[in-house]
Amino acid sequence: MIYICLMFTALNSPLQQLNHPVLTDLWIKRDDLIDPYISGNKWRKLKYILQDAAEKGKNHLVTFGGAYSNHLVATAAAAARSGLQATAFVRGEKVLNEMLLLCQLYGMNLIFTDRESYRDKQRCFEQHFAGDISAYFINEGGASAEAVKGCAEIIAELPQDLDHLFCAAGTGTTAAGLLQGIRDAGLKTKLHVIPVLKGADFIRDDIQKYVPETASLILHTGYHFGGYAKTQPALLRFIRDFSAGHGILIDPVYTAKMFFAIEDLAAQHYFQSHEKIAALHTGGLLGIMGMKEKLL
């Protein structure tokens, strides 16, 4: 409990202006700088999840993810720093990569699970942890009401007069939190969400499960570049140019697709030149490791 309080003390990640030839009021919220391993939105999501676990007297976090999951690394690091145990069901056959190496260094126990069994997460949990009162279930990517609450707090750390706020989306939990924060504060800000999955119109429904009123939400479903963790030469080029041009790394799975979308919308004169725009850098830079051959 003491550890958790120390780790999740209030923070204000920096808000930096981004130089742009057309957009003169463009900002980047550097949640990637919160921590290299409990990165960006994963820190935001875990904050109240860990608090809930502590309140319920649970000391073993059990969660789920693919072999390149930022959420697994974040959970492993958060558990280690909070004096908790951690286990992850990892989708697919046994592999070792940079992310899973970090998980293991942080003491996380990995259970490689075939894709069929992995689908029923509750069943995986019950098969291994039935009767284990110390075990605490955390859904894939940390998707939960607690995660929404943690992400909603980002809004108070941003200018209240934003016209547009951008974020990348996997499950849409982060987007739901931002939308909640915008609603709670009564802001006029439009939330622009860039799903990284193909055909992700379902995200609106998923967001609505947490936040019923979605009038401020704009989905841009055309920037998936082929789907989750898929890429194309134009995106890889964009990552190199952005990183070298701004001195800010972006990851190929999430944030690169979001920044590409902003650039593309600006080129289409989607924004008015005086509008105030912010992009949430949700971190996840270890994702670069999953695409190192392509990025070279």
Nearest position to ligand PLP, beta carbon: 284
Q: Single out the segment in contact with ligand PLP by CB under 6 A; choices: 14-22, 57-65, 115-123, 249-257.
A: 249-257
The C-alpha atoms of residue 205 and residue 139 are separated, in whole angstroms, by 18
Q: Which of 66, 252, 284, 290 binds ligand PLP (CB under 6 A)?
A: 284
**Among residues 75, 82, 113, 173, which is the contact residue for ligand PLP, using CB under 6 A?**
173
Binding of ligand PLP by 254 (CB under 6 A): yes
For residues 54 and 148, which CB has a smaller minimum distance to ligand PLP in the complex? 148
Q: Which C-beta is closer to ligand PLP: that of 100 or that of 169? A: 169
Closest CA to 170 of 154, 153, 151, 193: 193
Largest CA distance in the chain: 60
Q: Minimum distance from CB of 178 to ligand PLP (Å)? A: 10
Q: Give the residue, chosen from 48, 283, 288, 291, that forms a contact with ligand PLP under the rule CB under 6 A.
A: 283
Does residue 168 bind ligand PLP (CB under 6 A)? Answer: yes
3-state percent helix, strand, coil for the chain, nearest multiple of 5: 45, 15, 40
Report the length, in residues, of the chain.
296
Packing angle between helix 255-267 and helix 233-246, nearest 10 degrees? 90
Judge whether 63 and 94 are in contact, CB under 8 Å: no
Q: At what angle do helices 41-55 and 145-152 cross, to 10 degrees?
A: 130
What whole-number distance in Å separates Cα of residue 56 and Cα of residue 63?
Answer: 17
Tell me if 171 contacts ligand PLP by CB under 6 A.
yes
Do residues 278 and 166 touch, judged by C-beta distance below 8 A? yes
Q: How far is the CB of 2 from ligand PLP (least distance, A)?
A: 28
Number of residues this chain uses to bind ligand PLP (CB under 6 A): 20
Nearest distance from C-beta of residue 198 to ligand PLP, angstroms: 15
**Three-class SS of residue 192?**
strand
Q: What is the x/- site pattern for ligand PLP, positions 2-41, by CB under 6 A? A: --------------------------------------xx
Site for ligand PLP in 36-95 (CB under 6 A): 40-42, 70-71
Among 65, 66, 150, 170, indicate the residue that binds ligand PLP (CB under 6 A).
Answer: 170
Contacting residues for 160 by C-beta, under 8 A, at least 6 apart: 185, 187
Q: Tell me which of 174, 180, 214, 231 binds ligand PLP, using CB under 6 A.
A: 174
Q: Are 128 and 156 in contact (CB under 8 A)?
A: no
Find the angle CA(101)-CA(61)-CA(170) to the nearest 5 degrees.
Answer: 70
Applying CB under 6 A, does 180 fall inside the site for ligand PLP?
no
Question: Would you tell me which residues interact with ligand PLP (CB under 6 A)?
Answer: 40-42, 70-71, 141, 168-175, 251, 254-255, 282-284
